[in-house]
Amino acid sequence: MSDYLNFSLDGKVALVTGASYGIGYAIASAYAKSGAKIVFCDIKQEFVDKGLASYKADGIDAKGYVCDVTNEDMVQDMVKKIEAEVGVVDILVNNAGIIKRIPMCEMTADEFRQVIDVDLNAPFIMAKAVIPSMIKKGHGKIINICSMMSELGRETVSAYAAAKGGLKMLTRNICSEYGADNIQCNGIGPGYIATPQTAPLREKQADGSRHPFDQFICGRTPAGRWLEAEELTGPAVFLASDASNAVNGHVLYVDGGILAYIGKQP
């Protein structure tokens, strides 16, 4: 098969941060079904244990590690363990992230720094940990989970938008620095995803009406609905495979068309 049509991940080691559930879990599961060996990390043992149980129930042999991705020493130690126990990381997905919905003038500098630390500094730390071995091996794929907030602003998410905008530019800069080493760094910008975290925003109100935010999102999305985490998996497999070897420094927005749409006239 031509490499240009090779979507297989057979034998590749894929490390997905924050993949005990949600978007990270969906992406890691898709990688496993495409032949990859799955390694994931989360900040607490209870999250790792929950993830391991879910992977096992789905017939996936995954290996989990407890790691604070903002701690460079812990990240370096984890990557060394992965290389010794599983193999050199071929695919890194920087998925772990947080959001604090606080009006900017009510947000403390420490709260702002925390979001930047998890959503921007951590992907830098993770990429820095895996790139040297990717260079030695002769290839590597880094996928940063960006956001529509890489392009748009909205009330109460100043720190998140700043971090994701920075992550978009970090993606481009990793491409610029390491493209010659056959390392491709791209981003995925999810739209609004139906997850347990967003479930309260999609629940019917006491009077039977839709939640105002649910109405807003569905009205702002040409697809007219929330997206499923599994809808990110095709793009994620593509960007992790040899089929995307000429794609570098790009953010692929999987948003149901929101960024292309000005919205309906009131």
SS3 assignment, position 3: helix
Structure tokens, 28 = 């890691």
Q: Which residues contact 82 (CB under 8 A, 6 or more apart)?
A: 13, 15, 39, 63, 65, 89
Structure tokens, 160 = 């998140």
Nearest to 61 by CA among 84, 79, 83, 85: 85
In whole angstroms, give the CA distance from residue 226 to residue 255: 9
Q: Say which amino acid occupies 194.
A: A
Cα distances (angstroms) measured from residue 22 to each of 104, 125, 127:
27, 22, 22
- Identified catalytic residue from 160, 178, 192, 253: 160
Structure tokens, 44 = 């607490």
Q: Which residues contact 11 (CB under 8 A, 6 or more apart)?
A: 35, 36, 37
In whole angstroms, give the CA distance from residue 261 to residue 249: 24
89, 133 contact by CB (below 8 A): yes
Q: Does the annotation mark 21 as catalytic? A: no
Residues designated catalytic: 160
